[in-house]
Amino acid sequence: MKTLKIFDLIGEDCVSGDDGRLLYSQMEPVLATGEQVELDFFGVDTVASPFFNAGIGRWLEKMDLKELEKKVHFSHLPSSAPCLLKRVFENAESFYSDPNYSRAVEDVMAKLISE
């Protein structure tokens, strides 16, 4: 199992989508080989949904939640993270599994951007 130390990779605040995309890019070569990955959050104080959406939730486009849970392990999560991760997983599952849901989200986002 490959361990990624999130504090060393991103720092104590993991909040932005850019931070999440960095995490995703570090996880991708590990998971591509079939190896499991441990995400060690020791030293991380703050996590936010944009980070988890871009870094973790995005994996549900490629695999189902059960497979993701077998391949990705979390340690030393900040106290708010488990609840936040659960919500990210629920939203990502809906987004990637229901084309009507994902289309509706994309339409709303396009309207917000154009305003």
Which position has the higher pLDDT, 66 or 107? 66
The number of distinct structural domains making up the chain is: 1
Section 19-48 average pLDDT? 95
Task: Answer whether 93's CB lies under 8 Å from 59's CB.
Answer: no
Residue among 103, 39, 32, 21 nearest 63 (CA): 32
Give the pTM.
Answer: 0.79
What pLDDT shows up at residue 16? Answer: 95
Average pLDDT over the chain reads 86
Task: Answer whether 75's CB lies under 8 Å from 42's CB.
Answer: yes
pLDDT per position as a tens digit, 38-95:
999 999 999 998 999 899 888 878 888 889 889 999 999 999 899 888 888 887 766 6
90 vs 87: CA distance, rounded Å = 5
Domain that holds residue 86: 2-114
What pLDDT shows up at residue 87? Answer: 86
113 vs 71: CA distance, rounded Å = 35
